[in-house]
Structure 1
Amino acid sequence: MTSSSAARNQHLDELRALMASHSPPIHALLIPSEDAHQSEYVSERDKRRQFISGFTGSAGLALITTKEALLWTDGRYFLQATNQLSDRWRLMRMGEDPPVEVWIADNLSDEAVIGIDSWCISVDSAQRYEQAFLKKNQTLFQLSSDLVDEVWKDRPPNDATPVIVHPVEFAGRSVAQKMKELREKLQHEKASGIIITALDEVAWLYNVRGNDVHYSPVVHSYAIVTLHGAFFYVDKRKVTTEVKNYMSESGIDIREYDMVQLDVSLLASGQLKGSAVNGSLHMEKDINAAEHSKIWIDSNSCCLALYSKLRPDQALMLQSPIALPKAVKNPMELTGLRKAHIRDGAAVVQYLAWLDNQMQENYGASGYFSEANGSQKKEHLEIKLTEVSVSDKLEAFRAEKEHFKGLSFPTISSVGPNAAIIHYSPEANTCAELDADKIYLCDSGAQYLDGTTDITRTVHFGKPSEHQKLCYTAVLKGHIALDAAVFPNGTTGESFFQCSYDVNSCAFSRNLCLCIALCRQSFCRENYQNIAKV
């Protein structure tokens, strides 16, 4: 047993002791992957599920009972989870095993108490769990503090990286324009205000960026917008003089990050007061005067902790009105995206040409871009090419480009069998060396001020086998068919399957210098959503 495995076993024991001593006793503890903003990709200090289980994938859910430890994850991570979980854990395969709420209802006792950090679960998930728990009168209990944090003694600190104003020359639209449209939507739905919790939505609305999450230029923050005021909840240590002046000029109050729960309560009672409007102080009039005025939340991203401060009849639970305008790019954003992809494409071509040359010179490859003249692999390489070392070289090529801010996700640089592992993450100590006789897959992307990129290339620097050619061609034909397909209203993944267009793939709508996946749209058979409306 490794020292890390022994430490995690100890943490499990400590966690169960806290569950047993809690009032009321906790019979099972849910540990989601998400943070207080329901983000898929979270900061180091919010990786509670990873800390307790050792599983490092981006998606998953841990459940600790008095006797068992279970982890649910999807098909992207079955192999990775199998390799990373210790023998004290049981892997639950999403799509094959029962969902967590069904498993709890079927396997735990009547009136069992299931603990949850109410900041780390969405309203949708909480309500789905509560519905399933009715079967045995089980209770979803909102903990006053996260029990994992109590056993995580060396939890990373909350860094105070500064908020950055995102220039209008890249955003394409001012905060004033965005707020005007948002308030029109509030009035249309007869809502007095909206609580915005998704990090990329706050960043988009207020034209700000940050460095609080690796690969995603967002800042941990919330926003509340009413018909008469706007509020930005953030650690004030991150607020520079420039940001303070910018927010004041935009009519936005800056509040401490931890004040959001109190202010939601004030919003619910019609007592939330604003002070910054066009740079001048004022006392906002009652923003919730109407007896049945609604407060808009997106139940898929709003956490249970904030929702609990509203009356059930007060919450207007609809998709965020920011989702669509954020997805539909304005002309300036489209121009920026094109320029970013041209620069990024140039970096990738530079990289592949460099790598092709290295494979010919050092590994005797026949060549991808050009045929080598009878070269052979050197017996003694001064520096071996590995999955990690070559991905570092790709990052260096990108870093030379204008407006480069960093990578948009960890580079998936994979050789041979590793290329078949979805979301493979090479480690310097264990990664594979490049091989002229094996396929090389590189899935990578970058953040630029004017756009976010993601590009995958599969190459073979030697002589691919007939089977490899056949598989590669089949995938290519699927992509061409998908590109040529027409999407009439009502089209679903099932429709594509019936038309033999099933490529078992996803399309991603790209953000502008924000999270890498704005939204995912699956084209596989099991997707019954209306693709044409995405």
Structure 2
Amino acid sequence: MTAQSFPPAIFQSFEEKSDKKTVAPRVAALRSAMATAGIDAFLIPRADAHRGESVPASEARLAYVTGFTGSAGLAVVGARKAALFVDSRYTLQAPAQTDTRQIQVHEWLAGGISPQVADYVPKGGSIGYDPWLHTPGEIRDLVAKLDGRAKLVPGPNLVDAIWADRPAPPVSAIEFLGHNRAGQTATEKIAEIQKSIAADHADAAVLTLPESICWLLNMRGRDVPNTPFVLGFAIVPRSGQPTLYLDPTKITGELKAALAGVAKVAPRKTLTPALTRLGKAGKAVLVDPATAPQAIVTALTEAGAKLVEKRDPVLLPKSRKNAAELSGMREAHSLDGVALAKFLAWFDDAAPKGGLTEIAIVTALEAFRREEETCVDASFDTISGAGPNGAIVHYRVTDKTDRMLNPGEIMLVDSGAQYLSGTTDITRTLSSGKPSDEERDRYTRVLKGMIAISMARFPKGTTGAQIDVLARQFLWQAGVTYNHGTGHGVGAYLGVHEGPVGISSRYTTPFEVGNVISNEPGYYKTGAYGIRIENLITVVESPDFPGYLEFETLTLAPIDKRLIRKSLLSDAERAWLDAYHQRVWKEIGPRVKGKVKDWLKDATAAL
């Protein structure tokens, strides 16, 4: 099968979404609006009011002004100069997409907003911001960093004021999960969260994260790309029914019927009056200062509410997948394993011959996944990096950047899918010819780190920050490392990135049984190649050591053995890899046939 015989991709667009020529006029228009508003600078975050990694087109303000389309970042536009702050994933992408004559790009790795924001406003000047797009934690942090050099001024969003052709907010169908997929009824979940609210001495909690609301009410939607979210807000009282606040176009008779006896539904515009009523009644209201918009906190405090600042009460129970959710995740990874076996067999046949482009590889992988009718979306835009493009950690291929994979180069493919049963995320680094000694060394060290996490056994109470070093140690021994986390939480037919657990220095929440996390160390040589190997894992009780936890691997796809330097692997690491491949063969082998089955048998043979 050739690349040209696959149907066009529908989960992912390869259109170049940014145009540097639009940056200057849009920055100029924003400066005019700032002058009218009497402020010296304006903040433009990537996030919307729901803090989503994916945002609808109507909320893509950072991309509209700067051209930068990454999933994280913040711009400050001053009267004379402007800046875009991004993390290490986007230090190559951001300058390539924006007009650097208008906007200076800075790398910012630390938490919160960079104090360099102050460099873009006169001393004693004012910085405007939209209180729906920033959290109380962010604002307090920035005030402390500014240390009186500038003042923050909440107000209307000035980007919206200049965005003449702004898209309409999304309206998508809402579905509700059956018990076989959710494992708990919404009523049971609400009761659990209400116990937590009471334990925190609050009268109600305000939920702003779509993953929390969707999980709580067992509903899913299509309001944002790649993630089955319904965008809205909710107020959960200590007792009684929650109220779900949505765009009025989403409030249908069918929706009300589906939530009858479970939750009330109200138009989005009635949220602020509801918050005001809670405040006037002197209620104690729980809000998450790390995720709730500042506007919600302001409405509550100005009306007299007592704030209870705690983590979103849904995050932790949502991260502990129940038996039904884990069953669905295992099913999704089995389905994905079949698609990946077909894709990898196709790649191994086609790549050495030449002629494959990054887009062709994405298209082929999506086509194999779409053979399964329960695959409804990608869980994120596939990262398809050939040769040096693999070194761009969050590379997004476009028609403009599409690169040919030259035989002999290594190929990095990081992808995932949304199946009705669960969410997947996998990275494989693939050989298309004879790898260099350095490539084999770095690949094997990355693999050793991935296996170290996979084999880890640890006492209850251990955090991702504590085990992150297990993945990095072998690269450190060679004097190299990687500048991203080793793992992130993953939702069950929800977001491919979710908190509060993960594997990196910033994750301090202890692991619990049922957590699903990625395991993805890497190595990147700028201008040459990138390596990442990723499986999803779930936390289980150790069968042999009471009080200890271990990981079960969910992902079922071969790891390219041709890139391994066998002499670097220990006996235990070889045994783990052979056992993993034996499991892949046992579970996926019976579900494929012909040349794919023959390929899989060889790919999973003992090292």
Shorter-chain TM-score range: 0.7 to 0.9
Deviation at 1:165, TM superposition (A): 1.6
Asked if the contact 1:416/1:439 (under 8 Å) is kept, the reply is: yes
Of 473, 479, 492, which aligns to 1:500?
473
Q: Within 5 Å, give how 1:149-298 maps onto structure 2.
A: 149-226=160-237, 227-250=239-262, 252-270=263-281, 293-298=283-288
How far is 1:112 from its partner?
Answer: 1.5
Q: How does 1:4-15 map to 2 (within 5 A)?
A: 4-15=19-30
> For structure 2, which runs of at least 5 residues remain unmatched after alignment?
1-16, 516-607
> What does the per-residue CA deviation read over 1:172-221, in whole Å, with 9 as the maximum and x for residues that have no partner?
11111001111111222221111000011111111111111000110111
Identify the residue that residue 529 of structure 1 maps to in structure 2. 508
- Write the deviation string for residues 82-133 of structure 1: whole angstroms up to 9, x where unpaired: 212212110111138x974522446644431110011000111011122334
Change (3 A) 1:133 1:313: farther
Matched AA of 2:434:
K
Corresponding residue of 2:312: 320
Letter in 2 for 1:160: V
Letter in 2 for 1:132: K
Distance in 2 of aligned mates of 1:244 and 1:472? 53
Match of 1:332 in 2: 324
- The Cα of 1:495 is off from its aligned counterpart by 7.1
Shift of 1:155: 1.2
1:532 is displaced (CA, Å) by: 5.0
- TM-score for both structures, normalised by structure 2: 0.75
The 5 A counterparts of 1:85-484 are 85-86=98-99, 87-95=101-109, 100-105=113-118, 108-136=121-149, 138-143=150-155, 145-226=156-237, 227-250=239-262, 252-270=263-281, 293-311=283-301, 314-360=306-352, 362-363=353-354, 384-484=355-455
Q: Distance in 2 between matches of 1:245 and 1:330?
A: 26
Q: 1:346 to 1:319 in 2, by over 3 A?
A: same
CA distance in 2, matches of 1:170, 1:134: 50
Distance 1:239 1:396 in 2: 35
TM-score calculated relative to the size of structure 1: 0.85
CA apart distance, 1:527: 4.3
Cα separation, 2, equivalents of 1:496 and 1:452: 23
Q: 1:344 to 1:528 in 2, by over 3 A?
A: closer
Residue type of the alignment partner of 1:390: I
**Counterpart secondary structure, 2:53:** coil
Alpha-carbon offset, residue 494 of structure 1: 6.9
**C-alpha distance 142-440 of structure 1, shift in aligned 2 (>3 A):** same
Query: Contact 1:506–1:520 (CA<8 Å) still a contact in 2?
Result: no
Matched-pair contact (CA < 8 Å) for 2:124–2:148: no
SS at match of 1:296: strand
CA distance in 1, matches of 2:439, 2:18: 41
Q: Tell me how far apart the structure 1 counterparts of residues 256 and 74 of structure 2 sit (CA, whole Å).
A: 38
- Separation of aligned partners in 2, 1:531 and 1:108: 41
The answer for the alignment partner of 2:601 in structure 1 is none
C-alpha displacement at 1:387, in angstroms? Answer: 0.8
With over 3 angstroms needed to count, the CA separation of the structure-2 counterparts of 1:215 and 1:264, relative to structure 1, is: same
Kept in 2, the 8 Å contact 1:38–1:122? The answer is no
The answer to which of 312-321 and 175-184 deviates more is 312-321
Task: Look up the SS of the partner of 1:29 in the other structure.
Answer: strand
The one-letter code matched in structure 1 to 2:27 is L
- Change over 3 Å in CA distance of 1:386–1:194 after alignment to 2: same
What SS does structure 1 have at the residue aligned with 2:452? helix
Structure 2 equivalent of residue 38 of structure 1: 51
Q: Does the CA-based 8 Å contact 1:165-1:243 persist in structure 2?
A: no
1:308 and 1:395, CA in 2 relative to 1: closer, same or farther beyond 3 A?
Answer: same
Unaligned runs of 5+ residues in structure 1 are 271-290, 364-383
Letter paired with 1:243: L
What SS does structure 2 have at the residue aligned with 1:55?
coil
Tell me, in whole angstroms, the C-alpha distance in 1 between the residues paired with 2:507 and 2:264. Answer: 42
Higher mean displacement: 76-85 or 429-438:
429-438
Indicate the residue corresponding to 1:70 in structure 2: 83
Distance in 1 between the 2:500 and 2:391 partners? 21
Q: Distance in 2 between matches of 1:107 and 1:215?
A: 35
Q: 8 Å contact 2:23–2:98 — kept in the other structure? A: no
In 1, are the aligned partners of 2:183 and 2:325 still within 8 Å (CA)?
yes
Q: 1:348 to 1:459 in 2, by over 3 A?
A: same
- SS of 2:203's equivalent? strand
Residues 418, 214 of structure 1: alpha-carbon distance in 2 compared, 3 angstrom cutoff: same
Is the CA contact 2:489–2:502 (under 8 Å) kept in the aligned structure 1? no
Instruction: Give the Cα–Cα distance (whole angstroms) in 1 for the partners of residues 245 and 463 of structure 2.
Output: 40
Q: Whole-Å Cα distance in 2 between the matches of residues 224 and 466 of structure 1?
A: 58
Higher relative CO (Cα under 8 Å, sequence separation at least 6) belongs to 2
- Structure 1 residue 516 corresponds to structure 2 residue 527: no
In 1, distance between residues paired with 2:119 and 2:167? 37
Q: Hey, what's the Cα distance between the residues in 1 that align with 2:89 and 2:321?
A: 30
Distance in 1, matches of 2:384 and 2:114, equals 36
Q: Distance in 2 between matches of 1:169 and 1:423?
A: 35
Give how far 1:506 is off.
1.9
Matched residue type, 1:68? K
Aligned-residue offset at 1:528: 7.5
- Maintained 8 Å contact 2:385/2:411: yes
Question: Is 1:119–1:304's contact at 8 Å kept on the other side of the alignment?
Answer: yes
Structure 1 residue 134 displacement after superposition: 4.1
Structure-1 separation of matches of 2:21 and 2:436: 45
Residue 39 of structure 1 aligns with an amino acid whose one-letter code is G
> In the aligned structure 1, how far is the partner of 2:117 from the partner of 2:389?
35
Task: Give the Cα–Cα distance (whole angstroms) in 2 for the partners of residues 430 and 10 of structure 1.
Answer: 25
Asked whether the equivalents of residues 123 and 300 of structure 1 are also in contact (C-alpha less than 8 Å), the reply is yes
Sort the Cα spacing of 1:198 and 1:522 in 2 relative to 1 into closer, same or farther, 3 A.
Answer: closer
Q: Per-residue CA shift, 1:368-387, capped at 9, x if unaligned?
A: xxxxxxxxxxxxxxxx4311
Cα offsets for 1:314-344 (capped at 9, x unmatched): 1100011101110001111111110110001
Shift of the 171–128 alpha-carbon distance from structure 1 to 2, 3 Å rule, reads: same
1:394–1:491: structure 2 CA closer, same or farther, 3 Å change rule?
closer
Q: Is the 8 A contact 1:405 1:448 kept in 2?
A: yes
| CA gap 1:177/1:62 in 2 versus in 1, 3 angstroms | same
Q: Which amino acid aligns with 2:173?
A: P
Could you tell me how far apart the structure 2 residues matched to 1:43 and 1:391 are?
22
Say if 1:107 and 1:211 are closer, same or farther in 2 by CA, change over 3 A: closer
After TM superposition, give the deviation of residue 484 of structure 1 in Å: 2.5
Equivalent pairs, count: 484
- Equivalence map 1:47-58=2 (5 Å): 47-58=60-71
Q: State the shift of 1:233 in Å.
A: 0.8
Structure 1: distance between partners of 2:374 and 2:464: 38
Which shows bigger deviation, 203-212 or 256-265?
Answer: 256-265
Aligned-pair identity (%): 32
AA aligned to 2:218 is N
Structure 1 residues 490 and 211 mapped into 2: Cα distance closer, same or farther (>3 Å)? closer
Q: Cα offset for 1:7?
A: 2.6
In 2, Cα distance between the equivalents of 1:191 and 1:485? 39
Alpha-carbon contact 2:315-2:500 (below 8 Å) kept: no
